[in-house]
Amino acid sequence: MDTLGERLRYLRKSKNLKREELAAIIGLTPRVITFYETGDRDPSLKVLLALADYFDVSLDYLVGRSDDPRRH
């Protein structure tokens, strides 16, 4: 099962976004995005929801609890 960081990195790269671009969209710093992708920090529920909304995936998919990215 993929980790949140792996999923986040995959989703970001699938949209050809740099960390700086995603950070600006979500309202964070690029360093925080790096922390999330490396597993050094866990995002708050508010940030998780913003990321899931932006990438149009389920929260379960984003955090690695499901391999199905669709929202139900």
CA 51 vs. chain centroid, Å, equals: 5
**Mean pLDDT of residues grouped by 10 in the chain (72 residues)?**
89 98 97 97 97 96 88 73
Residue 1 pLDDT = 52
| Residues 45/56, Cβ–Cβ less than 8 Å | no
Residue 68 pLDDT = 82
Q: Which domains does the chain have, with CATH numbers?
A: 4-62 (1.10.260.40)
Residue 71 pLDDT = 77
- Helices 4-14 and 45-55: crossing angle in degrees, nearest 10, is 30
Predicted model pTM: 0.91
